[in-house]
Amino acid sequence: MTRHLSESLISWASILEDDTRDQAIRTSAMPFIYPHMALMPDAHLGKGATVGSVIPTRGAIIPAAVGVDIGCGMDAVLTQWTKDDVLATGSPLSGLREGIEARVPLSAGVYNHALTETASARVDALGERAAALEIPDPGSFAGNWALQLGSLGSGNHFIEVSLDEQDRVWLFLHSGSRGVGNKIATHHIKVARDLMSRYFIRLEDPDLAYLVEGTDEFWAYIRALRWAQEFARQNRAEMMDRAVDAIAAFMGEDVERREAISCHHNYTEQENHFGKKVWLSRKGAIDAHEGVMGLIPGSMGTRSYVVEGKGNRVALCSAPHGAGREYSRSRARRTFTFAQLEEAMEGIEYRRTEAFLDEIPAAYKDIDVVMADAADLVSVRHELRQIVNVKGD
């Protein structure tokens, strides 16, 4: 069920905190929003703009409305195996988890020491992409960007082995553009704020600072944004290759990729909505045009979904990107215990550490409520439940 929170803000969120609503209303009041903002069921407070919002703009763009993890998103692969095939190996799932952990650098600030053959090819392609976008040196963003390719990061990023409703085995992962995307975003957010100051433009929230289409600053951001979005997609593809290699070694045979899905949920593209071409920023939202396949993860320990878009025009053909936080990380650590985390993760192979306490499922919105709120936005094609969880701390 939708609710009009203002003339330019329509919400699909049945769980919505007051500060989140107020932040979304502030963003939707910017004069270049067209035709309206759409607030997704998983909406929660963010930097500058609400996480879980779809922001269409004409003539300007708000760098903080895309966020600092440019191109963050999900990848999933359906394999040929079933739960019975995995059990038939007789090997503990800890071996599979450790195999993934050995191949993919985990945690903030951790990256590769050398390039693999597949990573080298992707780095070369990203170099060519930078040249095509007239970006002379991607190293100007982050000197070690090439070694970041194929690394997971921390927070709510993960690699999972899951089972669907038919007990078929899926690989499922969530990550973005790592430190290089963060540096790009941070730089352009500052550029936008400096421009507001230079032209005496006062905003209710400084992180709503914007870049005007047609200016050098606008196009410099768009070029860097497009490169970072491609880096994020290639980063996930490289990690998926490594996860595929790990499960192939565990199962003793090569993987058949029977279905593969990839989608961003922190990004900007030009799209047509209500008769106009707009810059559509999905900050914590996925493309849900009719027939487009997408991925909506729950939280650590809960279900995830493979979905198909319904093309809801009022929602700007978008859908939620996950469960959405209900507790901040610091509040979650004060509220929950490690014993509660272990209870929530019962039956799932994961690295047992208190570092993951702020990722406990209870810190997130109920994924069942989020999916019920999204019923007009997507159709569920598969429901996934984890058997292995890999995270960085």
Amino acid at 338: F
Q: What pLDDT score was predicted for residue 65?
A: 93
**Is the pLDDT score of 291 beyond 80?**
yes
Q: What is the pTM of this model?
A: 0.96
Is 264 one of the catalytic residues? no
Q: Which of 36, 44, 264, 321 is catalytic?
A: 321
Question: Tens of pLDDT along 193-224?
Answer: 999 999 999 999 999 999 999 999 999 999 99
Q: What pLDDT score was predicted for residue 337?
A: 97
Long-range contacts of 22-30, Cβ-Cβ distance < 8 Å, separation of 24 or more: 23/49, 23/50, 23/205, 24/49, 24/50, 24/53, 26/204, 26/205, 26/208, 27/53, 27/55, 27/62, 27/65, 27/208, 30/57, 30/60, 30/62, 30/208, 30/210
Please check whether residue 80 is in contact with residue 256, taking contact to mean a CB–CB distance below 8 angstroms: yes
Please check whether residue 72 is in contact with residue 173, taking contact to mean a CB–CB distance below 8 angstroms: no
SS3 140: helix
Question: Tens of pLDDT along 340-363?
Answer: 999 999 999 999 999 999 999 999
CATH architecture of 3-390: Alpha-Beta Complex (3.90)
**Is the pLDDT score of 259 beyond 90?**
yes
Q: What is the mean pLDDT of the chain?
A: 96
Residue with tokens 């038919």: 166
Q: Which two tokens stand for residue 380?
A: 């569920």
**Is the pLDDT score of 14 beyond 90?**
yes
Question: Tens of pLDDT along 360-384?
Answer: 999 999 999 999 999 999 999 999 9
**Is the pLDDT score of 159 beyond 80?**
yes
DSSP H/E element including 87: helix 83-88
| Partners of 320 in the β-ladder | 285
Q: What pLDDT score was predicted for residue 311?
A: 98
Domain positions in the chain:
3-390
Question: Rounded to whole angstroms, how far apart are CA atoms 333 and 113?
Answer: 33
Q: What pLDDT score was predicted for residue 136?
A: 82
Dihedral, CA atoms, 66, 221, 240, 338, nearest 10 degrees? -40
**Residue of higher predicted confidence among 1 and 296:** 296
Question: Tens of pLDDT along 72-89?
Answer: 999 999 999 999 999 999
pLDDT band for position 118 (cuts 50, 70, 90): confident
Q: What pLDDT score was predicted for residue 176?
A: 96
pLDDT band for position 116 (cuts 50, 70, 90): confident
**Is the pLDDT score of 1 beyond 80?**
no
Q: Which two tokens stand for residue 252?
A: 């003793």
pLDDT band for position 48 (cuts 50, 70, 90): confident
Question: Rounded to whole angstroms, how far apart are CA atoms 245 and 261?
Answer: 18
Burial of residue 344 (CB within 10 Å: 0-12, 13-18, 19+) is middle
Please check whether residue 43 is in contact with residue 285, taking contact to mean a CB–CB distance below 8 angstroms: no
Please check whether residue 280 is in contact with residue 270, taking contact to mean a CB–CB distance below 8 angstroms: yes
Q: What pLDDT score was predicted for residue 108?
A: 86
Residue 264 has phi, psi (to 5 degrees) of -75, 155
